[in-house]
Amino acid sequence: EVQLVESGGGLVQPGGSLRLSCAASGFTSSSYWMHWVRQAPGKGLVWVSRINSDGSITTYADSVKGRFTISRDNAKNTLYLQMNSLRAEDTAVYYCARRVYSGSSTAFDYWGQGTLVTASS
Amino acid sequence: QSVLTQPPSASGTPGQRVTISCSGSSSNIGSNTVNWYQQLPGTAPKLLIYSNNERPSGVPDRFSGSKSGTSASLAISGLQSEDEADYYCVAWDDSLNGVVFGGGTKLTVL
């Protein structure tokens, strides 16, 4: 069974840092592009970042470019999101999602349950 | 302000057919495939339609998608109470070099 389990969320002061993890199981994670998507409380879905199967290609939304870093450790089947210089507007539930193996680049067939990040003093 | 434009709300009675629109531009919907997600309250999104009009296994054929030019639509026929959820369209944007979501449409089953 395919599973994605996020962890690492919590309360952090503005300007602080946090690293999210997404543990994958039930599939060969090293074969898939992976994404982070966030959702502020009561708001819609917003794409954050993506990484290709071997970690050599990364892309970011303008709102997080230069502050967030996506990475992966395929030996550990784990995806990461390092978040620095956090702002109040980064407060959201962060989901990791698996892109389908082939086909549409924005079709995410499996999602984690999400982890809440709160940037507040 | 989302790059893809959806109506904030939609509604229908059980058994009815409802459609949700998604408007974009030449750099996103006009040149890339559209996918749709369903998000039930308190849960993670679920892939509902991919590549404009394909259904993943397990998704009822009451759900269908279409695309024309720079717009796309999600249709739900035979509306059921369990369809009450938020629906999002999404596409790749060549100009932004990123994924763009619609603002979401809250569907209410009256």
Tokens of A55: 């970690």
What is the reported pLDDT for A100? 87
Say whether residue B30 is in contact with chain A using an 8 A CB cutoff.
no
- DSSP characters for A11-59? EE-TT--EEEEEEEESS-GGGS-EEEEEE-TTS-EEEEEEE-TTS--EE
Task: Confirm or reject contact between B44 and chain A (CB < 8 A).
Answer: yes
How confident is the model over A51-97, as pLDDT tens digits? 999 999 999 999 999 999 999 999 999 999 999 999 999 999 999 99
Which residues of chain B have a CB within 8 Å of the CB of A107?
A: 33, 35, 47, 50-51
Cα A9 to Cα A19: distance, rounded to the nearest angstrom: 8
Mean pLDDT calculated for residue range B90-96:
97
* Cα(A62)–Cα(A48) distance, integer angstroms: 9
A10-46 pLDDT per residue, tens: 999 999 999 999 999 999 889 999 999 999 999 999 9
CB distance A44–B45 less than 8 Å? no
Kindly state whether A5 is in contact with chain B, defined as any CB-CB distance less than 8 angstroms.
no
Instruction: Report the pLDDT value the prediction gives residue A102, as an integer from 0 to 100.
Output: 80
